[in-house]
Amino acid sequence: MMQLTKKRLAAAAAGAALLLMVLVQLLPFWVALTTALKPVTDLSPQMFLPTEIYLGNFATALEDGNILQAVLNSVLVTGISTLLVCFLGALAAYPLARRLSRLNKGVMLFILSLLMIPPLSIMVPLYSMLTQLHGVNTYWGIILVMVTGHLPLSVFLYASFLRNIPVTLEEAATIDGANLMQTLLRIVFPLLKPVSATVAILAGVSIWNDYSLSVFILTDPAVRTIAPAVGTFFSQESSNLGAAAAASLMALAPVLIAYLFLQKFFMKGMVAGAEK
């Protein structure tokens, strides 16, 4: 009886801890929601719902912040960048995973070392190079920067996952007459769905939320992505918290939908990517 009671207490404590974690995670979303539904004149605490629902902040975000255009720009940049990160990462990881030479091990260590470089530390030479290439305020310029920045992690995860795939599958395809590209496209890449979902979520969310690089590279409102667009509601003179919160909520929808479609593969890819 005593042992059963201890198990119930442990289960209750675990449930309470899990509930607390969920509440902490949902707290920022709740504050954003309550802030977006309040007019500027409402001085009640942000944690409380307003006495009257106010939708003017969403109209302000759409009209003054041009949020719909920013969302479309973010969808374009994030979609193309994520596809390139997945495809190029898988191609680059294949020889590193299949040919375990000293040279490839050195290349992998070099790729991992790139993860330690802070993006802002290379901002000045990066901006100078993009200016010379006429890549500032262009889609291809920001896509090139995002793909380059997220490829190291992509290559690492794909290489770790590929080491767990039996090489006999590729040997059988070669015996059947398939060349290397056919083997990759028909045999190897279809097996990479779990890690591809992981890479897509990690890279996609990071690119969607990027502010530090996008705010310097995309200054034209016509090509501005969602993070710099939300930042326009903050200035030294005044800040429109309600409009910023409304814009953030509208920007959350595409990411949430993508995660709901990919989340069943996410943990599989993370576990496999961590294995050696």
Cα–Cα distance, 98 to 275 (Å, whole number): 15
* Angle of the 102-114 helix axis to the 139-162 helix axis, nearest 10: 130
- Supply the DSSP string of 51-62, one letter for each residue: SS---HHHHHHH
pLDDT over 80 at 11, yes or no: no
pLDDT tens digits for 213-242?
888 898 888 898 988 888 888 765 567 778
Average predicted confidence (pLDDT) for the chain:
82
| pLDDT at res. 101 | 81
Q: Please give the model's pTM, rounded to 2 decimal places.
A: 0.80
Structure tokens at 262: 């990919």
pLDDT tops 90 at residue 182: no
What distance in Å separates the CA atoms of residue 68 and residue 46, rounded to the nearest whole number?
26
CB count in 10 Å sphere of residue 228? 22
Any idea how long the chain is?
276
Residue 171 has pLDDT above 70, yes or no: yes
What are 274's two structure tokens?
Answer: 């961590």
Query: Over 50: is that where the pLDDT of 274 sits?
Result: no
Instruction: Report the pLDDT averaged over residues 182-205.
Output: 85
Average pLDDT over residues 51-69: 81
Burial class (CB in 10 A: 0-12, 13-18, 19+), 43: exposed
Distances (CA, A) of 202 to 27, 96, 208, 222: 22, 21, 10, 26
Tell me what pLDDT residue 273 has.
46
